[in-house]
């Protein structure tokens, strides 16, 4: 096959693949996609902020519980609220947010004025089940250092109108509301006797953004080869 014909074939394949991928962009904003399977995008370097609602912030303060971050996560002020910023360096998800699994580094801590701390670590955001699973560890006076098996800690309710995947620049951003799951509620009660977080409704407003690797970058390399 001649070099010219090879480039024509590559260009044809690239155009077809771009059309296939772009047909799914509308899915991120709630538009019904085609019957083709959604393209997968891989997370490169990203972060997500978990910000307590006003009601949750008040409940934590009333019960003498301080929200904190387990390294490499850090505390950050977002819109005037103290939030836990979790770094994300791996994982992948479907362009229509229908599937995928994205783990976060570090964790979320809740520390009582008595010195006892509950940590939620090894968090994994599961796009298919709309759940966040992780480990709950109690530390401090008479805690025993017990570490629970992975449990469902939060529910995920994605806000599709705030979801954007830029196939050209390789970036993504999104938002979701996190509610407390029975596993998280039980862990808080085990640590503090009562849970400072509401069992119903939104606990954290979550926003995420960062770099992703997707179809567009692979197509660019194919055209230049």
Residue 163 has pLDDT above 70, yes or no: yes
Nearest to 23 by CA among 14, 36, 40, 10: 36
pLDDT at 213: 85
**What is the per-residue pLDDT across 10-44, written as a single tens digit (0 to 9) for each?**
333 333 334 334 444 444 444 444 455 678 899 99
Residue 208 has pLDDT above 50, yes or no: yes
In sign, the C-alpha dihedral spanning 29, 31, 35, 36 is: negative
Nearest to 74 by CA among 101, 105, 44, 102: 105
* DSSP character at residue 161: G
pTM summary value? 0.79
pLDDT at 140: 83
Please list, residue by residue across 132-142, b when 16 or more beta carbons sit within 10 angstroms of its beta carbon and e when fewer do.
bbbbbbbbeee
pLDDT-derived band of residue 147, with 50, 70 and 90 as boundaries?
Answer: low
Whole-number mean pLDDT of the chain?
82
Coil, helix or strand for 53?
coil
pLDDT-derived band of residue 159, with 50, 70 and 90 as boundaries?
Answer: very high
């Amino acid at each position: 096959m001649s070099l010219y014909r090879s480039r024509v074939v590559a260009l044809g394949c690239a155009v077809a693949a771009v059309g296939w991928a772009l047909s799914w962009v509308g899915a991120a904003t709630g538009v019904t996609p085609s019957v083709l399977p959604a393209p997968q995008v891989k997370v490169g370097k990203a972060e997500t902020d978990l910000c307590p609602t006003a009601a949750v912030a008040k409940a934590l303060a009333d019960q003498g519980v301080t929200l904190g971050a387990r390294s490499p996560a850090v505390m950050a002020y977002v819109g005037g609220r103290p939030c836990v910023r979790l770094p994300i360096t791996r994982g992948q998800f479907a362009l229509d947010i229908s599937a995928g699994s994205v783990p976060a580094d570090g964790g979320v801590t809740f520390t009582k004025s008595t010195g006892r701390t509950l940590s939620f670590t090894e968090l994994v955001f599961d796009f298919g089940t709309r759940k966040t699973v992780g480990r709950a560890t109690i530390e401090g006076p008479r805690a025993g250092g017990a570490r629970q098996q992975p449990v469902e800690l939060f529910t995920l309710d994605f806000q599709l109108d705030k979801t954007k995947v830029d196939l050209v620049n390789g970036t993504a951003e999104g938002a979701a509301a996190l509610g407390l799951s029975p596993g998280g509620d039980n862990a808080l009660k085990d640590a503090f006797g009562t849970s400072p977080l509401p069992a119903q409704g939104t606990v954290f407003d979550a926003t995420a953004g960062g770099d992703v690797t997707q179809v567009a970058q692979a197509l660019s390399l194919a055209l230049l080869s």
